[in-house]
Every structure is written in C-alpha cells, then in structure tokens.
C-alpha cells in the first residue's frame, strides 16, 4: 500500500498602519489644601468655618480634618478624617505616701499611723536610723542610694559610709599653710585612687606647688616661675630628690637628682661606728674581723694611728694620723681576699714611713714589716666606718 503526503503554503502581504490621532492630555494634582474644625459629632462632617491651623478641642469632642485635592483639569475631591479628644480619667487609688514625719533621740513606744516616718537622731542631731510604720509596728528602713539622690550635699555629716566610684573636689582660697608667709588658693581632687592638690598664690595664676598622693607613692613639686624648681618623689622604698642648683658661684643653675633608699640609710647609720679599737703594731700575727663590712660603708674605713713608745711598749696619745681606705678598694679585687694598702705616717723625731695593712671586705691583717724598723714607732688605735 502506498502512502502519499501533501501540504500547501499560503502567502499574504501585511503593510504598516497609519499614525493614530493624538490622545487627550493627562490629569494631575494641582493643589491640596488641609483644614481643621471641631465638632460634637464624630459621624457628620461639620458645616462651620474650616481653619488652616489646628484648633483647641474640648474633651469628648472631635477634631475633623478635611483635605481638598484639586486636579489640573479643574475637578476636585474632598476627604475627611476624624479624631476624638479624650476625657480626663477617673481618680486613681490612694497612694502610700508618708502621712507624718517626726524625729528624736528615742524611738516612740506608740506606733504612728501607717506610712508615718521617724528619724532616729544621736545627741548631736545626726541621723542614725530611719523607721516607717505599717500601722502596728516600726520597721527600720535601710538608708540606700535610692533614698538619697542629689547633685550636692551641704552641711551633712557622714559616719560609717562607704562611697564607691565617687569623685570629690574641694576648692580653697585665702588659706595660709603652716610656715608659709602668703595665703594660697587652689583645688584638691580625690578620684581614681589619687589625691591631687594644685596650689596657687592667692588672687593670681602663679602656681606654687603640685602635690599628689597616688597608687605608687607621693609626689610634691615646688614651682619657680613657670617650671618645677624642686621636687620629691616618695615611693617603692625610696625617696628621689631633685632641684636646680648652681655648681659654680654665679653660674647657671642645673638640675640635680639624688636617691635616698633604705640601703643608703643603712650605710648612713653605719657612719661613725667603730669596727675595731685597741692597740696593735699590725704585725703579721694581727688579724681583725670587721664589725662593719667595707661594702656596707658609705665611703670606706678610716684607720686611726698614734705614736708607739718602743721603750715602755705602750701607745702614746699624740702624733695622730688618719688614713682612709675607700670602699672602692673592693672594685676589681676579690672581696674575700686581702690586698695590701700602704698607709703613710710621719712621727716627729722618728721619721716618715708606711704601714702595710692587708684588707679584704670583712677582714684585715698586719704585715711582718709592722714590727720592724721605723714602722714600730706607730700603732693602730681604731678603725671607723665612714
């Protein structure tokens, strides 16, 4: 069986149409006017005069708002909105206010009406406790921060109060500090763990001093003109002093500093102490244990010599000689090993010679030459820490 297929094609011509006529002009908003009017009705628009500003409306009345919109084609539309002016509400329940207040040095035995307060005072008139009545008994109230809310307090006395996170500022004027010839003014501020006082000459801007007690110690600065002339820093176990001084007569002052520590005071206290006394020719058999170490002196050791009578074999209180061994003797030397020091001595009618002493930090000893020749004419009488 044979299958045949057929199809057809149709062709048509389509031309563009002609331009249409111009449409009508569009319509827009030309103006919008809002006016107001009061009314006793909330459903019917008022017919009186509309105002451009909002009028006062009595409680229970209505405020109407009218908006008239005019279009560019001359047409217009009007819209309304309405709001009720609320009335005063009814009286609320009675509050728990303080009905009475009294104070005295003794809490009354009889209880006042509920919500009454009584402030208990001491003999100086200072408030100690606050009580409130519940109608049957007195109840002590804590004096908390919520009870005291004020920017400043004048004439108050506080006892046993713990202030937290506060800043205290005190200004003063026409005050004459002890030993100071002028009156001063200034400000003291206690905040952030520091007490700072800046002092000025009364009635001027001339600064006299800055004083500070902070977390690490104390600072005091004395001003000369517009700069610090002298200062003292006390803290961490030492006193640091500074000031301007002239090293030469008529010279410009320069800043000098020095530190006084517990160690320095210890050395000062050793000054003048006798580390040994007696009579010794300081021969090779002589050994002395120092009562004050050489390193624990401010300057060193001073040796005191006098004349020795070789006939009577005794010391003579004359022809004194003093020799200094500085503590720097230990520098570069083993402090535990003795090093020789020659000490020049002059004895009238006897001659000039040297005494040799072997010196370590804690011990010293004589030399074999100490008992021979001219050296026998001098003996050691004492040693002092200086």
> 275 and 379: one domain?
yes
Instruction: Kindly tell me if the per-residue pLDDT of 25 is higher than 90.
Output: no
pLDDT digits (tens, 9 = 90+) for 50-94: 999 999 888 889 999 999 889 888 888 889 899 888 888 778 676
Given a cut of 80, whether residue 97 has pLDDT beyond it is no
The answer to whether 346 and 352 are in contact (CB under 8 A) is: yes
Any domain includes 49: no
381 contact partners, CB below 8 Å, separation of at least 6 = 277, 278, 279, 304, 305, 306, 315
Domain range enclosing 194: 168-263
pLDDT band at residue 188 using 50, 70 and 90 as cut-offs:
very high
Same domain, 127 and 201: no
3-class DSSP assignment, residue 186: strand
Q: CA–CA separation, 374 vs 108, rounded Å?
A: 103
Task: Tell me what pLDDT residue 20 has.
Answer: 65
Of 263, 285, 319, the residue at which a domain comes to its end is 263
Please check whether residue 92 lies inside any domain of the structure.
no
Same domain, 178 and 222: yes
154 occurs within a structural domain: no
pLDDT tens track for 124-178: 888 888 899 998 999 998 876 555 655 556 555 666 667 777 788 999 999 999 9
User: Are residues 323 and 294 both part of a single domain?
Assistant: yes
Burial of 308 (0-12, 13-18, 19+ CB in 10 A): buried
Task: Say if 71 falls within a structural domain.
Answer: yes
53 in a structural domain: no
The tokens for 297 are 């002196």
Give the confidence band of 3 by pLDDT, cuts at 50, 70, 90: very low
Question: Is residue 286 situated within a structural domain?
Answer: yes
Q: What is the pLDDT of residue 157?
A: 64
Instruction: Report the domain count for the chain.
Output: 4
Residue-level pLDDT at 226: 87
Q: Does any domain span residue 193?
A: yes
pLDDT at 271 over 80: yes
Give yes or no for residue 321 having a pLDDT over 60: yes
* 127-133: strand order across its sheet: 101-104, 117-121, 127-133, 138-141
Q: In what order do the strands lie in the sheet with 378-385?
A: 274-280, 378-385, 300-309, 314-326
Residues 280 and 381 in one domain: yes
Q: Is the pLDDT of residue 325 over 70?
A: yes
Q: What is the SS3 assignment for 229-297?
A: EEEEEEECCEEEEEEEECCCCCCCCEEEEEEEEHHHHHHHHHCCCEEEEEEECCCCCCEEECCCCHHHC
Q: Are residues 289 and 380 in the same domain?
A: yes
Q: Which residues pair with 154 in a beta bridge?
A: none
Share of the chain above pLDDT 70, in %: 87
pLDDT band (50, 70, 90) for residue 1 = very low
pLDDT at residue number 128: 85
Same domain, 285 and 259: no
Q: Where is the domain boundary, 81, 115, 150?
A: 81
């Amino acid at each position: 069986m044979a299958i045949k297929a057929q199809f057809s094609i149709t062709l048509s011509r389509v031309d563009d149409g002609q331009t249409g006529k111009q449409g009508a002009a569009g319509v827009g908003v030309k103006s919008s006017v809002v006016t107001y009017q009061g009314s006793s009705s909330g459903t019917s628009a008022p017919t009186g005069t509309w105002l451009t500003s909002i009028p006062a409306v009595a409680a229970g009345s209505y405020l109407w708002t009218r908006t008239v919109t005019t279009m560019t084609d001359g047409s217009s539309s009007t819209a309304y909105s309405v709001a009720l002016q609320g009335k005063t509400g009814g009286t609320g329940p009675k509050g728990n206010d303080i009905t009475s207040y009294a104070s005295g040095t003794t809490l009354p035995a009889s209880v006042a009406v509920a919500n009454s307060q009584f402030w208990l005072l001491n003999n100086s008139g200072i408030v100690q406790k606050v009580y409130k009545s519940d109608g049957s008994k007195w109840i002590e109230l804590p004096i908390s921060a919520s009870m005291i809310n004020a920017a400043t307090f004048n004439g108050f006395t506080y006892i046993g109060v713990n202030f937290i996170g506060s800043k205290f500022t005190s200004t003063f004027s026409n005050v004459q500090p002890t030993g100071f010839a002028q009156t001063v003014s200034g400000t003291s501020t206690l905040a952030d763990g520091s007490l700072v006082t800046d002092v000025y000459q009364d009635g001027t801007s001339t600064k006299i001093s800055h004083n500070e007690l902070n977390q690490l110690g104390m600072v005091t600065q004395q001003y000369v003109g517009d700069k610090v002339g002298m200062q003292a820093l006390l803290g961490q176990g030492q006193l640091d002093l500074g000031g301007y001084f002239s090293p030469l007569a008529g010279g410009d002052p320069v800043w000098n500093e020095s530190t006084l520590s517990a160690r320095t005071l210890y050395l000062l206290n050793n000054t003048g102490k006798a580390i040994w006394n007696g009579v010794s020719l300081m021969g090779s058999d002589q050994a002395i244990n120092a009562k004050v170490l050489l390193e624990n002196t401010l300057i060193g050791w001073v040796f005191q010599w006098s004349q020795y009578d070789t006939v009577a074999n005794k010391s003579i209180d004359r022809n004194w000689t003093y020799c200094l061994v500085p503590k720097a003797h230990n520098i570069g030397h083993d402090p535990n090993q003795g090093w020789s020091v020659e000490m020049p001595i002059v004895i009238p009618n006897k001659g000039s010679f040297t005494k040799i002493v072997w010196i370590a930090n804690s011990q010293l000893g004589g030399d074999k030459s100490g008992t021979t020749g001219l050296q026998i004419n001098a003996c050691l009488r004492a040693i002092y820490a200086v």
